[in-house]
Chain A
């Protein structure tokens, strides 16, 4: 499955990346699977997405949870808790 990943704010800086296109291995089809796959990259991904760290995921511009299913060509954003207003 192909995805467009976006990173914002502190996570964009930590990952040194604003967006990337990825192809997920077969069998990964939800947000929990995606974050586990990203953590396996090590480095900042392992650190920032470690259990207990606060981050949020949006799928196709709607807030998502660990069980949210992914679809081919979805836009998935990973970012810190929001601080607007």
Chain B
């Protein structure tokens, strides 16, 4: 498994190719790419700054990946999260899960994103027409993460 926090962009195709290279047990690859939108809560977003807690960020994502590996039969996991200055249409986050069958890959990928959004210490500050503001956490993200606490496998 691999967890990276970086300012640079990433190449989804190259990352997927690297993750599954030479592993004939992989029958499914699920990936999620998060992208910066130009609108939030009806207001134009010109860009954003992503802040994180170096050290804890990597540790918390590794813990989330370890939990996913316990719950589903996955071959490998890659998480890349960007920090720093980002513009609309920029990629922010990549989660890739490889597994023998698609069910495990889809479920683990969604679980990883839901937990990443509620447990990994990142914060977004958006630049809007009215000035900069910190994004507030959403109850819907907590609800999405809480679903997994009721599902046992």
Contacts and interface: CB of A to CB of B under 8 A. Distances in A.
B137 A79 contact: no
A62 B31 CA distance: 27
Contact of A63 (B52, B119, B124, B141): B119
Interface in B68-89: 81
Interface in A43-58: 54, 58
Contacts of B50: 84
A66 B122 CA distance: 22
B45 interface: no
Contacts of B55: 61
B107 interface: no
B103 interface: no
A33 interface: no
Contacts of A54: 137
Q: How large is the interface on A (under 10, 10 to 19, 20 to 34, 35 or more residues)?
A: 10 to 19
A84 B53 CA distance: 11
B33 to A, nearest CB: 11
Nearest to A79: B121
Contact of A83 (B53, B93, B123): B123
A74 to B, nearest CB: 13
Contacts of B121: 8, 58, 77, 79, 82, 84
Given A8-B121, A85-B93, A80 B134 contact: yes
Interface string A57-84: 0100111000000000000010111111
A79 B60 CA distance: 15
Question: Chain B CB within 10 Å — which of A54, A77, A83 has the most?
Answer: A83
Given A10-B134, A84-B93, A84-B124, 8 more contacts: A6-B53, A54-B137, A61-B56, A61-B59, A77-B53, A82-B120, A83-B124, A85-B116
